[in-house]
Amino acid sequence: MESSKMSNTAVQRQISDHQDGAQRLNVGCGRTPVVGYLNIDNSITVRLARWPFVLKALYQLRLASIDSLTSVPVITEHKVKWADATKHLPLPNESVSVVYSSHMLEHLDHG
């Protein structure tokens, strides 16, 4: 790893280190929510995490992956919210002081 690059863990530690009480947003958090941030993601797993028995049934029918199934505790513990960042963020204008996103841009459409 080049010295100019930071590990994902180091970046998360750095952005979680703020103590000023400002609202922080992690857009497209996936399976790596950041403590102290409002974590949002648009995966179907986030929506289904409220009903783990449904996700388990989908897994048994081979309609959901093991990654989706094992993400439920992380999503629940960190209170990850569902939102589609390409359409609307669930916050009022000018209410966030920090926006963080990692490995999300490659998932946006090229349209």
Mean pLDDT in order along the chain per 10 residues (111 residues) = 44 49 86 93 93 94 94 95 88 89 74 54
Interatomic CA distance for residues 14 and 108, integer angstroms: 26
Q: Which residues contact 76 (CB under 8 A, 6 or more apart)?
A: 49
